[in-house]
Chain A
Amino acid sequence: MKFDDAINGVIAIVFGCSMIVLSQNLPEVRHIDFGPGLFPTLVGCGLVAAGGFLLGRRLFAAHGKVIGWASFGSGDRETPSGGVGSMALQIAVIVFYILTIERLGFLLTMPIVLFCLLAWFDRRIARAAIYAIAGTAVLHSFFYQLMSVPLPWGLLEPYARALTW
């Protein structure tokens, strides 16, 4: 999503000001003159300066102008309808993974995540189901079996031994 540089400048200024304010509220340390807030304050000032420069460049020289302040698709790339929905789906499945992985376990959550994405982008339901299961099996074998990463079992905890090779 491409924003007008005036908005980008304002975002940087707001972010920088927030850093400065938060840094000022950090506790002072006895016997140390230069506390934990000094460097973040300098970084916040840098953000404000860079954001201000971008804003000034946009206002006085009209650089970085975007029609309608914000647009999807820029330059040589047009965003087809549904592009925003596709992006929202990607974010939604990651949130779904975060919320359900401990309860459902990797072997149930990941096939759902993969199936949703594959069915949406590839539009072939049967192929999506096969790839979702195969992809999960490959990832589980690699990370759980080979790399010893403790991927959660969730509901399948009682069957962990049977599902491990």
Chain B
Amino acid sequence: MVVLDAFLTLLTPTTLLVMVAAAIYGLTVGAIPGFTASMAMALVVPVTYFLDPVPALAGVVTLAAMAIFAGDIPGALLRIPGTPASAAYVDEAYLMTRRGESELALGTGLVCSAIGGIFGALVLISAAPFLAEIALQFTSFEYFWLACLGLTAAVVVSSGHPAKGAISLFVGLAIAMVGLDPVAGLPRFTFGNSELMGGLGFIPVLIGLFAVSQILRFALSPDADRDAQELVDKAPRKRLLGGVLAEIKRLKWPIARGCGIGTVVGAIPGAGADIAAYISYASAKTMSKQREVFGTGSLDGIAPATAANNASVGGALVPATVFGIPGDSLTAIIIGILYMKGLNPGPMVFVLQSELIYAVFLAYLVANIMIIPLGFLAIRFFRQILSVPRTILMPLVLAACIVGSFAVENTTFAVTTMLFMGVVGFYMEENNISLAPAILGVVLGPLMEEMFLTSLIKSSGDLWAFFDRPVANVLGVVVIIIWSLPLLLAAKRLLVRQWSN
């Protein structure tokens, strides 16, 4: 009954219009090389601020689903993945294009993306309420360890060395600590500036880290897409879905595995769509009877990987909505919007605002069904999308960033914050310090500190109390094992080296 009511709340003209607009925007931005899904999301957050919760959240989940798929289009046609999520199989798809099979590569990718997305959405709808019932028993101890586990996983699976992932995470936590502290309400790191009392705004931080940093990087090589535009003529002109169904039937089990891998990997904090696609591709190759076809331009690798990257978004939304722990940077942004809309993620949202949260889940399901017709159009209009030079697009995007940051807080201080975070993001990206742990730190920092201090006050400073409850005990031990593992491995290597000498 709740699901039906939720579905009816989706069927308003505003929500449907926002979903279609978000879909077109997501497909366009995702198809432009160099623009990431996180960047697309960061740019649209100021707009969601002015919308009602259902259209705002339906719009962002639609955008996430579309942008991930759209990254496949330039990947297949130009060998430039539109988003990092498509990087795993870009060579396979491009080799097919060179053989004149771009229609088959993109058509299969389109249908598999929809299958993966729908699978992820169904898992989300069925698993999240079940997990929420368990999570209702959790106290601040469990939440503290869950947040630790989420952030630790984000560091471990981030691209680059884990030490850089840790730096990124601590930078994010430091950003979250500016403003009033959660227990005593005293100003912290405000340096006497009243504008900092409320902390660094989430939206300017987001736009700075994900969008301005990319624009600054574009300035270093503004002509990078010149070759790409000359290759646009490779875009498909023939039948797009010809032969696709036969291929999907042939690859049904690898695609099913890709869906499963994508959903599970997506649920692990920090491991986003890109990692899901890499693991799924590697798994398909390992389990295939025809390993020799991998790397020669084969659908055997493309189909499961593209299903996995779309399924991962649904998987990532499970811990995001049930525990408030984001699975990747996209869901970290979605969590930020949930908070902004007064829909505090956690098990209570399934009790108090069940209709609203189911509406978000159903919007994600509908968005994945919409991928097929709209994705088809995106492939058709790809030439037009790419014909806009980035030398024109980037200045316009920067202008949108400035106005977007200003719009939410109505102060130029937000633009200053955006610029500062843009420079920080630029420095981090240039030095292979992944941005994902930082944004997870920004989102989870306040929750983690509050749970840590509340637990300490409850236990009168007794650290053993963090391990008293069974679930907290298991989570705590797992976190400590993961933290100790690098030291233990380093010690083992040292001992082996000394022994061999």
Task: Return the CB mask of B169-210 against A: 1 if under 8 Å, else 0.
Answer: 111011001000101101011000000000000000000000
Main secondary structure of the interface of B (DSSP, over half): helix
Contact between chains at A113 and B430 (CB < 8 Å): no
Whether a CB of chain A sits under 8 angstroms from the CB of B398 is yes
B488 to chain A, nearest CB (A): 15
**Assembled-state Cα–Cα distance A122/B47 (Å):** 28
Task: Return the CB mask of B152-176 against A: 1 if under 8 Å, else 0.
Answer: 0000000001011011011101100
- The number of residues on chain B lying at the interface, defined by a beta carbon within 8 Å of a beta carbon of chain A, is 58
A-B pairs with beta carbons under 8 A, tally: 185
Contact between chains at B431 and A40 (CB < 8 Å): no
A61 to chain B, nearest CB (A): 11
Instruction: Determine the chain B residues whose CB is within 8 A of the CB of A94 once the complex forms.
Output: 398, 402, 415, 418-419
**Assembled-state Cα–Cα distance A56/B402 (Å):** 40
Neighbour of A2 across the interface among B164, B416, B431, CB < 8 A: B431
Whether a CB of chain B sits under 8 angstroms from the CB of A79 is yes
Neighbour of A40 across the interface among B188, B223, B402, B433, CB < 8 A: B188
A26 to chain B, nearest CB (A): 6
Contact between chains at A97 and B183 (CB < 8 Å): no
Neighbour of B220 across the interface among A87, A121, A123, A139, CB < 8 A: A87
Supposing A3-B431, A34-B461, A43-B170 touch, asked if A149 and B410 sit within 8 A by C-beta, the answer is yes
Instruction: Determine the chain B residues whose CB is within 8 A of the CB of A46 once the complex forms.
Output: 166, 169-170, 173
Contact between chains at B392 and A131 (CB < 8 Å): yes
The closest CB in chain A to the CB of B414 belongs to A98
**Assembled-state Cα–Cα distance A72/B430 (Å):** 9
Residues B61-80 near A (CB distance < 8 A): none
Contact between chains at A2 and B453 (CB < 8 Å): no
Q: Which of B215, B402, B419 has the most CB of A within 10 A?
A: B402
Contact between chains at A50 and B170 (CB < 8 Å): yes
Task: Return the CB mask of A79-100 against B: 1 if under 8 Å, else 0.
Answer: 1100110110111011101100
B292 to chain A, nearest CB (A): 28
Contact between chains at A77 and B221 (CB < 8 Å): yes
Whether a CB of chain B sits under 8 angstroms from the CB of A151 is yes
Contact between chains at B406 and A149 (CB < 8 Å): yes
Task: Return the CB mask of B397-441 against A: 1 if under 8 Å, else 0.
Answer: 011101100110010100110110001001100110100000000
Whether a CB of chain B sits under 8 angstroms from the CB of A155 is no
**Assembled-state Cα–Cα distance A39/B453 (Å):** 8
Contact between chains at A29 and B412 (CB < 8 Å): no
Contact between chains at B399 and A102 (CB < 8 Å): no
Neighbour of B174 across the interface among A26, A43, A74, A98, CB < 8 A: A43
Whether a CB of chain A sits under 8 angstroms from the CB of B219 is yes
Contact between chains at A16 and B170 (CB < 8 Å): yes
Contact between chains at B403 and A139 (CB < 8 Å): yes
Contact between chains at A143 and B167 (CB < 8 Å): no
Whether a CB of chain A sits under 8 angstroms from the CB of B396 is yes
B89 to chain A, nearest CB (A): 19
Contact between chains at B415 and A114 (CB < 8 Å): no
Instruction: Determine the chain B residues whose CB is within 8 A of the CB of A114 once the complex forms.
Output: 395-396, 399
Contact between chains at B403 and A143 (CB < 8 Å): yes
Supposing A32-B184, A34-B457, A149-B406 touch, asked if A90 and B215 sit within 8 A by C-beta, the answer is yes
A78 to chain B, nearest CB (A): 7
Contact between chains at A86 and B167 (CB < 8 Å): no
**Assembled-state Cα–Cα distance A63/B160 (Å):** 12
Task: Return the CB mask of B445-460 against A: 1 if under 8 Å, else 0.
Answer: 0000100110011000
Contact between chains at B219 and A90 (CB < 8 Å): yes
Whether a CB of chain B sits under 8 angstroms from the CB of A117 is yes
Instruction: Determine the chain A residues whose CB is within 8 A of the CB of B169 once the complex forms.
Output: 46
Supposing A101-B412, A131-B392, A149-B407 touch, asked if A36 and B167 sit within 8 A by C-beta, the answer is no
Contact between chains at A43 and B398 (CB < 8 Å): no
Whether a CB of chain B sits under 8 angstroms from the CB of A108 is no
Whether a CB of chain A sits under 8 angstroms from the CB of B242 is no
Contact between chains at A83 and B177 (CB < 8 Å): no
**Assembled-state Cα–Cα distance A33/B186 (Å):** 14
Task: Return the CB mask of A51-66 against B: 1 if under 8 Å, else 0.
Answer: 1011001000001100
Supposing A22-B189, A139-B400 touch, asked if A86 and B219 sit within 8 A by C-beta, the answer is yes
11 contacts between A and B (CB under 8 A): A39-B449, A43-B177, A78-B221, A79-B221, A86-B219, A98-B416, A110-B399, A123-B391, A127-B392, A147-B50, A151-B403
- A: residues with CB less than 8 A from B are 1-3, 5, 8, 12, 15-16, 19, 22, 26-27, 29, 32-40, 43, 46-47, 49-51, 53-54, 57, 63-64, 72-74, 77-80, 83-84, 86-87, 89-91, 93-95, 97-98, 101-102, 106, 110, 113-114, 117-118, 121-123, 127, 131, 135-136, 139, 143, 147-151
- B: residues with CB less than 8 A from A are 47, 50, 161, 163-164, 166-167, 169-171, 173-174, 177, 181, 183-184, 186, 188-189, 215-216, 219-224, 389, 391-392, 394-396, 398-400, 402-403, 406-407, 410, 412, 415-416, 418-419, 423, 426-427, 430-431, 433, 449, 452-453, 456-457, 461
Q: Which 5 A-B pairs have the closest CB atoms?
A: A117-B395, A36-B181, A86-B219, A50-B166, A121-B391
